[in-house]
């Protein structure tokens, strides 16, 4: 269903005037003066088989229909004087979507990487050429070290190669500590577990905040209420479960909205405590 709506979010920290186009997989909202766009690259039937330790009773309770959707998303941040992309997806729809929003690939100033799995770095290069020719690439130093030196992955090496000295590393801060910005209004937070250097980003402007939490979870219907359940994609399942609970608890206590790379449209919402786990409340999209 095509929805082109200007409306106010129920999330108090985000300004009104949000534009949503569900048919195009674009959901936009404001964080202070920043315009943030969630861009859906793919949406397909999900696979609960990736969940580790989710028995039949858990699946019946949280996915009673037996089916659910899985999404792959990227995020575009239009900040004053700067266009920032968070992850690139596989490198398909992201180019058409940013162009529709008035941003050519050559106008992307920075690409922030949550981690280096293929569905997050696939759009960096093609045939050895940088697809974002004027962008700097930012990623955690231990993520770069792991995929290019410790456990060399040729796909990761090839993705970064065209950018040369424009690849910049950082040390993400600890959740709840004083954070250091890598760009004005954007601070990285260590969320190790899914990969050795998996990073989430705190976006902050004019008192408003948003956490873009990357691959903190893959099956929202189960992993919000039971954050101890990890996915087979998580390299360190115990660490992934631990940081998942910590980030959700932090977001809930501080009333900071969150958004992820594998949550279905609109992909952004608030986290609330719900018994021993959590509940995700998506941003409200009223009927047209």
CATH at residue 169:
3.60.15.10
**CA 262, CA 269: separation in Å to the nearest integer?**
13
**CA 54, CA 214: separation in Å to the nearest integer?**
22
Q: Let me know if residue 48 belongs to a domain.
A: yes
**What does the pLDDT average to over 205-232?**
98
Count: domains in the chain? 1
Secondary structure letter of residue 174 according to DSSP = P
pLDDT at position 14 over 70: no
Whole-number pLDDT of residue 18: 53
Determine what percent of the chain is predicted with pLDDT higher than 90: 89
Residues found in the chain: 288
Q: Let me know if residue 286 belongs to a domain.
A: no
Radius of gyration of the chain (CA): 18
Domain containing 121: what range?
A: 4-280
Number of neighbouring beta carbons within 10 Å of residue 85? 27
Q: Are 44 and 29 in contact (CB under 8 A)?
A: no
Q: What DSSP string runs through 124-150?
A: SEETTEESSTT-EEEEEHHHHHIIIII
* Span between the terminal Cα atoms of the chain, in Å: 10
Q: pTM of this prediction?
A: 0.92
Q: Let me know if residue 288 belongs to a domain.
A: no
Give per-residue pLDDT as tens, 51-69. 999 999 999 999 999 999 9
- Select from 141, 33, 146, 97 the least CA-distant residue to 265: 97
**CA 270, CA 255: separation in Å to the nearest integer?**
7
Whole-number pLDDT of residue 10: 32
Q: Let me know if residue 133 belongs to a domain.
A: yes
Q: Let me know if residue 167 belongs to a domain.
A: yes
Q: Are 24 and 3 in contact (CB under 8 A)?
A: no
Q: Is the peptide bond before 266 cis (omega within 30 degrees of 0)?
A: yes
Give per-residue pLDDT as tens, 123-178. 999 999 999 999 999 999 999 999 999 999 999 999 999 999 999 999 999 999 99
Q: Let me know if residue 287 belongs to a domain.
A: no
Q: Let me know if residue 54 belongs to a domain.
A: yes
**CA 22, CA 20: separation in Å to the nearest integer?**
6
Q: Are 130 and 162 in contact (CB under 8 A)?
A: yes
């Amino acid at each position: 269903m095509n929805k082109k709506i200007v409306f106010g979010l129920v999330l108090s920290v985000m300004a009104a005037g949000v534009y949503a186009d569900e048919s195009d997989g674009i959901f936009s909202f404001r964080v202070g003066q920043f315009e943030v766009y969630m861009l859906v690259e793919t949406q397909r039937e999900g696979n609960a088989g990736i969940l580790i330790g989710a028995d039949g009773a858990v699946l019946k309770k949280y996915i009673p229909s037996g089916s659910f959707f899985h999404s792959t998303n990227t995020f575009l941040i239009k900040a004053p004087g700067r266009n920032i992309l968070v992850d690139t997806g596989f490198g398909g729809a992201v180019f058409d979507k940013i162009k529709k929003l008035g941003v050519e690939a050559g106008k992307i100033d920075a690409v922030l990487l949550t981690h280096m799995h293929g569905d997050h770095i696939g759009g960096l290069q093609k045939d050895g050429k940088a697809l974002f020719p004027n962008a700097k690439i930012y990623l955690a130093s231990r993520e770069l070290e792991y995929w290019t030196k410790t456990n060399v992955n040729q796909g990761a090496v090839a993705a970064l190669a065209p950018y040369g000295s424009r690849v910049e590393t950082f040390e993400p801060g600890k959740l709840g500590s004083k954070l250091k910005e890598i760009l004005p209004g954007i601070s990285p937070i260590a969320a190790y577990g899914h990969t050795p250097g998996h990073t989430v980003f705190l976006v902050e402007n004019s008192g408003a905040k948003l956490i873009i939490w990357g691959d903190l979870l893959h099956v929202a219907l189960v992993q919000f209420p039971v954050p101890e359940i990890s996915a087979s994609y998580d390299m360190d399942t115990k660490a992934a479960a631990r940081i998942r609970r910590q980030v959700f608890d932090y977001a809930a206590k501080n009333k900071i909205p969150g958004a992820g790379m594998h949550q279905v449209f609109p992909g952004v919402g608030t986290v609330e405590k719900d018994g021993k786990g959590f509940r995700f409340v998506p941003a409200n999209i009223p009927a047209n």
